[in-house]
Every structure is written in C-alpha cells, then in structure tokens.
Amino acid sequence: MKTFCGRANPTTGAMEWLEEDENYDYHQEIARSRYADMLHDKDRNEKYYQGIRAAVSRVKERGEKAIVLDIGTGTGLLSMMAASSGADFCYAVEVFKPMANAAVKIVEKNGFHDKIKVINKHSTEVTVGPDGDMQCRANILVTELFDTELIGEGALPTYEHAHKYLVQEGCEAVPHRATVYVQLVESKRMWAWNKLFPVHVEAEDGEKIIVPPSEMENCPGVPSVCDIQLNQMPSSDFTVLSDVVTMFSVDFNKPVRSASTYYRVQLEPIKSGKAQIVLSWWDIDMDPSGMINCTMAPYWVKHTSAFQWRDHWMQCVYFLPNEEPVLQGEKLYLIASRDEYSLWYKLQKARGEEESKADVLLESPVCRCQAHLLWNRPRFGQLNDKNRTLQYVKSLMKVLKTDSVCLCISDGSLLPVLAQYLGAKQVFTLENSAVSCSVMEKFLKANHLEDKIKIIEARPELLTSSHLEDKKISVLVGEPFFATSLLPWHNLYFWYARTAVTDHLTSDVTILPQSASLHMMIVEFQDLWRIRSPCGTCEGFDVQTMDDMINNSLNYRESKEAEPHPLWEYPCKSLSDPQEVLTFDFRKTVPQHCFSTEGSVSLLRKGKSHGAVLWMEYYLAADISVSTGLVQISNEKGNCEWNPHCKQAVYFFSSVIESETLSDLPSAVAYAINFDTKTGEIAMDFKLFSFNEVRGMP
C-alpha cells in the first residue's frame, strides 16, 4: 500500500503530493510526536499516578473490583499505573497501530500482560460483553485526550460515547474534572498577529500610507486556536484588563455532552483599555476534592519557581472579532462558544438578559477577507514589523529610478505597493495562487492603485512578454516570502523563480535581495531538547521500547533533517559564534551543480550541545540585510534573542554530550552541508569533537 504525503517543493514554491511507502506516515507520526515530551512531564505523570491510586482505593473501599478503561493509552503508562495500584484489570485502548504494538511490548516487559489488555481500536468501536473487547463495563475511566485547547483532540465526543456504552454510571474518572480559565488583555504585539496595521512610508513627495482593506479590518480571522508558550511572553507586551475568571468546567465522572453550546461569564475590567485578546489555559483535578491538581497557568498567575515545562500542553491566545474599548468597573459579559473541537470568544456589553442572549454567536467565525487564509499569524506579525519594513523602504530607495520597471515575486507582499509609492515607473506583481491574487486586488483597491500595479496570476516559468506589456524588468524584488515554506531555506524558491524569468530581465537588472546566506550556531536548549530525548524509565516503568521506536522512526530515511521551531518560545544559549556556511547569489541563475561546504565551528562556552540552529539572512542592497534567525546574543551567558516572526531550523544531535569539566568539553563541531539545486533541499551532518580529537585533526 502506498501513502501520499504533502511536501513543500522549494524549486516550485508549491505543495506537492509524493508517493511514499506505507511505513512513511507512521514513522513521520512517531518521529515528530510529542510522546517523549509527555513522558518527561514529571508533574503530569506524578499527578496522574496519585489520582489513579486514589481512584482504585475508593473503588476497593466500596468492596468492588477495580476495572479500568484507559482511552488513548499510548505507551500503556496509565494502565500500568492502575495495575500497580491494585486494579483488577485494565482495558487499554489505542487506535494508532504502531503505538498499540509498542504498548503490548511495554506492558509485557513490565510484567503486566495478565492485568492489561491492549485494544487496537478507536474507543467508539470497542464492544462490551462476553464475546466483546471488554467483558464488562469499567468503573474507572482514565484518559489523556487533551490538547492545549482541552477539547481539540476530540475529548468531548470520546467521553460522551464512553459514558453511554463503556463505563458504569457514577464511575470514577481520572482526571475527575477540567476547568478552563480566561483573562482579558490588551496587547499590540498579539493583536498584530491577526490584524494588519496601516503602513507609513516616507517617500520623496511626502508621507504615504498603505491602508488595509476594510474587509480585513472587520474580519474575525480563522477559528483555529493560537497556542503558544505564554511563559515566554514578557509582561511588558500585554496589559491585563481583567482578573482571571473561570469560563467553564467539565466533570468527567458524569455523562458529557459534546453538542455545540456556549458559556457566559460576567467580567468587570480592572483597568480601562482596548479589549483585544482572551488568554486562556486549563487545569485538571485528578480527584473529586481537587487536592491533586495539574495546571497550565502562566507565570503571572501561578507564582512558583518550580515550573513544569511542557510542549504538549501550552496556553491559548484567542482574538476577539473586533477591538473593543472597555472602562474600568463597567459590566461586561464574555461569551465562549464551542463545537466538539474548538472554542471562540466574544465580548458583550451588559444589556437586558433576553436581548443579550439572542446575540450569542454559535457559528464558528469564518475568514471572509482571505488574508487569514494566505498569511499565518507570524506572517501578520512580520508585515506589521515597522523596522523590517523600513529596511525594504531604504533598499528600494537606493535601487529605484524614475524609469524603473519593477516585478515582485512573493506571496501577498506589500513590496509592489512600496515600490509604486517610492517612484517606480511601472510595477507588476506575480502571484502564485488565486487567494494571493484576491488579497492583492483588495489591497490595490483600498489604496486606489488598481491602475498603477498589475497583478499577474501565473507561474514564473509561464510568464510571457504580453503579461509584462512587452517591457523588460529592470528591478526584480522579493521579500522573499512564500506561503508553502516550512524551513528557512524554502524561501530560496525566489532564486528558482528569478532563474525562470531571466529572459524578461534587462541585462543590467537589479535583484533585491541580491543574495542570501545560510547561518548556523551550536546551542544548548533550556527545555526544547526534551522533545527528542530518550526517557528510559517513567515513574518506575520501563519505556525503553518507546525510545527505540522513536529512534527507529527518526532514522527512517529522513533522520538527517532539521525541523522548524519558533525559537522565541524556546530559550537557548549559544555555545558557538554564529557562522555563515553557504551563500546564494541571486544576481546569477541557479547553477546546475549541487554545492556543499564542510568545516568546523569552535565551541566557546560550557554546556550541552543539543543541536544546531540554522537560519537565512537576505542582503537587500549595500549594507542592508534582514535576518530570519538570530537577532542578538544578549549577554555573556550566551542567551539568544530570535526573530519572532519566523521559525528557525533546528537539527538535534543524536547523542547529546554532557560536559561538566572544561577538559572533556567538546571543543568543536564538524559539519557537512549540501545544497541540492535539483530539489532545493539542504542535507546536513554534524560530528562533535573533544579537545584532544581536535588537536589531533590534520
């Protein structure tokens, strides 16, 4: 059986469906999963264990047998906790076949095969009865079905079905209850991830403004949650407008309803301001009394130094449909609407009860302006970054002449408008998709530029002279930004597009950016290393089988691959200086041959070499560049500040060498990096060397 997988092709700027063998998808799922992160989450594991012990005890005290149903068992960890706490029997349900196979091995290895039955099915397909998967209904329901939004992985319909068909009435449940908390804030930084602000441009003939279309200003955006590590958001980047309030809670020991509904709470702003954002997180009580509690509360709410870092559960940012001015002490209602899988919020000024109830929005918000479909949230942030825009303005002012004919190649970029405002004689923009064409049309209309800038919907290789009105391009510009790019170097599609349109360029064409370079630095992560680190034992159970399985999947064909992470959310310190490793000259066409580089980078600081971070820098014009990665190393300790609008590439070293003394500190990392011009992909390999090995190197 074959599997089709979507992948960005950097040579075409398109998502392409590649045929892979049937194991590929499994290996991807496992290799990129968060299983290791969950097994490293000591707080979660300890609280689950305490809750399970208590639930088994309560059932035993009633003189009943403890029969456990564990839905979404994963490694079988929670079932093993139940069995070792005295449960008589556990049914461990896992729909993902490779995972279920691993759970069988782990259960066997830990000596619980006679107490735990692994069922490789979706829980809604599990049968109960003498010939069924389960002999009888369970009286303890254990699950870990939660994501950052709590309900995004289908917890509600799963619980609803389990209560109807798989567990006894009044069963014990671990967790017993989940509670969702909210806080209203004003934040220009976060609001900039959902709305485009007017762009001010200082041109020779005075200030000009690029205004967003009104459709965009009034658009609620997309309903998908924005989940981030809120603990990395400095308190200076938002203003708290309300206390933390409980939005709703779900008791898991009673029947659960998954049907769409809404919750309404009264708020009194503690400060006047602009209500823009609802910050949200949840906690779970593992027992009915709430004594065993696991919380996702951020740093300003949970005042404790012993923070449990986790990446599988974070915090949520929800954007209100519109910015609303609020006054300290006024009466407001916050309404959370939900369907089976997602939540969205709305603020309401207090009015008559009936009048306000009619106003509840049960339909999920839909983006009508299309910009939210074209640009993700970091991209909105990037377009709103005044300093970044200024670099492009300064560069365009250097290269544009009164007779310049300009072609822009990027997805839904403001560069064509900037070029027009800064004096180009004629501007064309090449858009890769119907969505980017539509968004650009709205922009041009809002700024009365329909007759000044021509949108061409065509692939670069299909560009004709008639598209360009028989003119040759004297200035070719790109940010470059393409919506399909996942890794930093995927935006090198600009180089391939530039090569494809060569025949339409003047002999002395100016290319902006003129070149790019790939940079690299060796880092120690504060926490991110956990997502790729073997666990060995978890709460006394041997989960080595899981480690081996993840390792095997990482080594499946694409082990030597970097993965994208937004490093502003994941603190790290630099162990080496940043180093330029490859350069790409856009003034020339893409060469036929691949090119590669080898070398080594010296380690300057003590620390654990968890991996290499890679990013791109673009040289726009003389002395002007923009970086997609490192902004600065902020102190002697090597703490790094990263571009918050881009994901950087992280290549995790397979064996992290812990260095306690200077003598056994790896003192260099050798690298080999290859750019395949046929595929646009970059392959890399690294090797860590100790001080003595380096001295002996030729």
Active site residues: 144, 153
Q: Is the peptide bond before 321 cis (omega within 30 degrees of 0)?
A: no
Is the separation of the CB atoms in 518 and 605 below 8 Å?
Answer: no
HEC string of 204-261?
CCEEEEECCCHHHHCCCCCCCCEEECHHHCCHHHCEECCCCEEEEEEECCCCCCCCCE
Strand partners, 573: 524, 639
CB 677 within 8 A of CB 590: yes
- Which two three-digit tokens encode residue 326? 């609020």
Q: Residue 330: how many CB atoms within 10 A of its CB? A: 12
The two structure tokens encoding residue 523: 């880092």
What gap in Å lies between CA 494 and CA 509, rounded to an integer? 15
Evaluate the CA torsion angle 373, 376, 379, 381 in order and state its sign: positive
Q: Give, as one character, the DSSP assignment of residue 603.
A: B
Contact residues for 353 (Cβ-Cβ < 8 A; gap 6+): none
Name which of 416, 410, 408 is nearest 436 in CA terms.
Answer: 410
CB 70, CB 79: distance < 8 Å: yes
The DSSP secondary-structure symbol of 183 reads E
Q: Do 494 and 430 contact (CB within 8 A), yes or no?
A: no
Structure tokens at 37: 């992160």
As given in the structure block, the two tokens for residue 580 are 């330029």
Cβ atoms of 601 and 574 within 8 Å: the answer is: no
Which residues, 6 or more positions from 272, have their beta carbon under 8 angstroms from its beta carbon?
A: 325, 326, 327, 328
H or E, element range at 612 = strand 611-621
Residue 270, φ and ψ in degrees, nearest 5: -90, -5
On whether the CB atoms of residues 541 and 110 are closer than 8 A, the answer is yes
Number of C-beta neighbours around residue 639 at 10 A: 14
Q: In angstroms, rounded to a whole number, what is the distance separating the alpha carbons of residues 262 and 24?
A: 41
Q: How many CB atoms lie within 10 A of CB 9?
A: 17
- C-alpha 109/C-alpha 89 separation (Å) is 17
Pairing of strands 332-338, 261-267: antiparallel
